[in-house]
Amino acid sequence: MSPIAEIICVGTELLLGSTLNTNAHYLAQQLAHLGISHYYQTVVGDNPERLKQVLDSACARSQLLIFTGGLGPTPDDLTTETLADFFHTPLEERTEVIDLIRQRYAQRGRIMSPSNRKQALLPKGSHLLPNPTGTAPGMIWEPRPGLVLLTFPGVPTEMHRMWQETAIPYLKGRGWGQQVIHSRLLRYWGIAEAALAEKVHPFFQLNNPTVAPYVSYGEVHLRISARASSVAEAQALIKPVEDKLRHITGDDCFGADQDSLASVVGDLLLNQEASLAVAESCTGGGLGQLLTGVPGSSRYFIGGAIAYDNRVKVSLLGVKEETLAREGAVSHSVAMEMALGIQSRLQTTWGVSITGIAGPEGGTSEKPVGLVYIGISDENQQARSFEFNFGSIQGREWVRRLSAHTALDIVRRELLTALKK
Amino acid sequence: MSPIAEIICVGTELLLGSTLNTNAHYLAQQLAHLGISHYYQTVVGDNPERLKQVLDSACARSQLLIFTGGLGPTPDDLTTETLADFFHTPLEERTEVIDLIRQRYAQRGRIMSPSNRKQALLPKGSHLLPNPTGTAPGMIWEPRPGLVLLTFPGVPTEMHRMWQETAIPYLKGRGWGQQVIHSRLLRYWGIAEAALAEKVHPFFQLNNPTVAPYVSYGEVHLRISARASSVAEAQALIKPVEDKLRHITGDDCFGADQDSLASVVGDLLLNQEASLAVAESCTGGGLGQLLTGVPGSSRYFIGGAIAYDNRVKVSLLGVKEETLAREGAVSHSVAMEMALGIQSRLQTTWGVSITGIAGPEGGTSEKPVGLVYIGISDENQQARSFEFNFGSIQGREWVRRLSAHTALDIVRRELLTALKK
């Protein structure tokens, strides 16, 4: 039976906002992989009284306390001595640590500072948790039966190596962390979180695997997490739930895990031996950038035009002057002419275009900021276009981001339709 | 007298390690800027009983509790109702919130889901903390004298705006956070952190303001921070230090604070009444995207070509077939022909081009992954090109990012030279 863990990060720099707490994130992921639950993470400054307050709560509710930070040689590094004091245990000097630190310094042609001696003091009865890449060792200590403390320095690279090389084998050796939590992320575009949640809400009651919705920069996710004794077993629990969710949500689900809209579009283009070119106005290259972010995209992405100025829409894309004059650059007709123009100039199977008003300037009452037309031209040189209003509230970059991703989603849905024909 | 604050982040995704807790980091920085101390940060899952345990401790030791997360429309979003329950206060529906959510949905052509109604429930006696960019509002609530709760959604961009627009004025209105820490960030491109640090190291000993170097995605920063009783007073402390630093570091400093390479290039182009076009291969539109990220960039940025495939380099840019055959697409000559080609086709004052090998595939022993040529063509149609090797270790996106930013820096330095002539 695995213990309940708790993560306690010690460091005034975390309270001042000088340092982003990536250690808690790393440890949380590691504990999840091991199937060891934790319910609390705490950050506290380099202050013995406050650290003791945190210990009071933590010892009452958790059995495995994992500390980072406060192991250095300077006077504000107080974690080890505060823990010893809390459990009324004397510190003792470990000569093997002194020798190691001295060696470490000698390797770099330096002499050990007297202040480093402090790092060799560990509570009586604790075990050394070696630090192969730094001078601050940690410890594994069971100050009373059923309560284990692990300490790590705050430097992420040192902590990671100590976790992998010593902590994981220790935990497994105790018969803990035999369970794994494995997750699968289903990714959605073109449906709001609330609408998706309503379609699949009965799944939120499941226990193993669990299903939960998230939003991330315009994408909506469903995370399916299973607890099992192996990854394969967890995957077997996830699979039928994923199948049902995909069945219910259909093409709104564009992929899973590491997939992106651009990679999924790339796979579809490759499968259909098709090629794509882009014509961008308000996104200024952002759609091309997303497409070429996928390694190997040169097999289907040919290129495009950044037609920011209307003259470029005419000269590089062959948009008609009279269309621009009659309907304006931000219109269905111009979007379609742009898509057709780049498709025929670069001789690709598909052409896609974006023209819109990203703001903050340039909006009118008929054509407000956030109005965007996305054009697509298919293998028969038939063009269509779609109108969106992404609003002005979230700003220029948001409109541009939604525009580029929505264009990818339109290409994806067109390619799926072509596939089904 | 400012209260002692405490940061409480609610979300099982933080415990699972799915999400890095950038919210605690942001709030820590913000509190530091306001001179409001906080001694604890806690992360707890979407679980009412555990959240109440956290509340027990927090209410006993802090006077300003700041919550993020758990305000969404789904059943696992429990923060508001748990707080109401903890303080034995009934929830009431705020019709103004319903109206706002409905409007927000309507703007995007969608209909509000019934589950969104949940987001309009706030404890009796609390004040709405408006969310201008999302559907989940927060609240400002003083459930008993001397204890203030602020709640924010977990989405960072929404939280930041709510903090800036409502929380800061509220805190200042109560007479809290009167000491300010004000910072000025000097931004550098084209110099390594260590080299910059050696040039200015005596400044690192200063006390008020302090000067410290940082690296961020290839940019190097010097942060000058002053503590004072007003922003104006802090700025007066910063100004002479900034002047000396700029004098020492010259043109390597491209700007300050909100400046970006793209905005600085834009300002220089505007001042010189010049225009710019781009021709991109390995960046696939990323340079155009950076340039058009600046509002008003249509005054100097005309457009460009994404010449990913060699055929496009020929058809849209007029690169000679024999140059491609003789020197390869990744070469000084092709970079220069691309810059000249887009400049003449779009009739701009300047043309800039990028051609390189972003990887992970496509490298050879003569032309390894990370090799990039940047071409520039000036107002006299004279082209030059520059060779870079950005290496392969940090991956494809890193090469593309450095390429686009370095191209902007080259344009910036050329425009500065033109200015000095």
Tens digit of pLDDT for each residue in B281-334?
A: 999 999 999 999 999 999 999 999 999 999 999 999 999 999 999 999 999 999
Instruction: Supply the pLDDT for residue A101.
Output: 82
The nearest alpha carbon in chain A to B158 belongs to A394
| % of chain B beyond a pLDDT of 90 | 76
Q: Say if the ipTM goes beyond 0.85.
A: no
**Whether A322 contacts chain B with CB within 8 A:** no
Q: Is pLDDT of B243 > 90?
A: yes
> pLDDT by residue (tens digit) across B267-282?
999 999 999 999 999 9
| % of chain B beyond a pLDDT of 70 | 100
Work out the mean pLDDT of chain A and round it to a whole number.
93
Q: Is pLDDT of B32 > 80?
A: yes
How far, in Å, CA of A362 to CA of B278, rounded? 23
| Pairwise CB contact (< 8 Å): B42 & A40 | yes
How far, in Å, CA of B168 to CA of A276, rounded? 48
The residue that leads in pLDDT, A176 or B178, is A176
Instruction: Supply the pLDDT for residue B100.
Output: 85
User: Within chain B, which residue ranges are assigned CATH 3.40.980.10?
Assistant: 5-173
Of A15, A28, A309, the CB nearest to B302: A309
Instruction: Supply the pLDDT for residue B386.
Output: 97
* C-beta neighbour count of B146 within 10 angstroms: 8
Q: Is pLDDT of B109 > 80?
A: no
- The whole-angstrom distance between B405's CA and the closest CA on chain A is 14
With a cut of 50, list the residues of chain A below it in pLDDT: none
Lowest pLDDT segment from A122-136, B45-59, B208-222 = B208-222
> pLDDT by residue (tens digit) across B363-378?
999 999 999 999 999 9
Choosing among 3.40.190.10, 2.60.40.3950, 3.20.20.70, 3.90.950.20, the CATH entry for A261-420 is 3.90.950.20
The residue that leads in pLDDT, A118 or B21, is B21
Window 141-180 of B: residues touching A by CB (8 A cutoff) are 155, 157
Of A273-282, B202-211, B389-398, give the range with the top mean pLDDT: A273-282
Altogether, the residues listed in chain B come to a count of 421
Backbone angles phi, psi at A224, to 5 degrees: -105, 120
Residue linked to tokens 């001595």: A81
How far, in Å, CA of A206 to CA of A387, rounded? 39
User: Within chain B, which residue ranges are assigned CATH 3.90.950.20?
Assistant: 261-420
Instruction: Supply the pLDDT for residue A145.
Output: 95
Instruction: Supply the pLDDT for residue A135.
Output: 79
pLDDT band at B131 (very low <50, low <70, confident <90, very high): very high
Instruction: Supply the pLDDT for residue A108.
Output: 65
Per-residue burial over A334-373, b = 16 or more CB atoms within 10 Å of its CB, e = otherwise: bbbbbbbbbbebbebbbbbbbbbbbbeebbeeebebbbbb
Instruction: Supply the pLDDT for residue A69.
Output: 94
Instruction: Supply the pLDDT for residue A78.
Output: 93
Compute CA distances B213 → A257, B30, B32, B246, B337, whole Å: 37, 20, 19, 14, 39
The DSSP 8-state label assigned to residue A167 in this structure reads: I
User: Within chain A, which residue ranges are assigned CATH 3.30.70.2860?
Assistant: 180-256
Per-residue burial over A36-63, b = 16 or more CB atoms within 10 Å of its CB, e = otherwise: bbbbbbbbbbbbeebbebbbebbbeebb
SS3 A306: strand
pLDDT band at B404 (very low <50, low <70, confident <90, very high): very high
CATH of domain A180-256: 3.30.70.2860
Q: Are B166 and B129 in contact (CB under 8 A)?
A: yes
Helix (H) or strand (E) holding B403: helix B396-420
Of B25, B44, B316, the CB nearest to A21: B25
How far, in Å, CA of A64 to CA of A5, rounded? 4
Of A193-202, B114-123, B241-250, give the range with the top mean pLDDT: B241-250
What contacts B19, CB < 8 A, 6 or more positions away?
A: A25, B11, B13, B154
> pLDDT by residue (tens digit) across A186-216?
999 999 889 999 999 999 999 999 999 988 8
Fold of the domain spanning A5-173: Molybdenum Cofactor Biosythetic Enzyme; Chain A (3.40.980)
Q: Any bridge partners for residue B303, and if so which?
A: B277
Q: Are A381 and A340 in contact (CB under 8 A)?
A: yes
How far, in Å, CA of A298 to CA of A295, rounded? 8
Work out the mean pLDDT of chain B and round it to a whole number.
93
Q: Please give the average per-residue pLDDT across B407-419, as a whole number.
A: 96
Instruction: Supply the pLDDT for residue B382.
Output: 97
| Pairwise CB contact (< 8 Å): B73 & A193 | yes
Residues on chain A touching B120 (C-beta within 8 angstroms): none
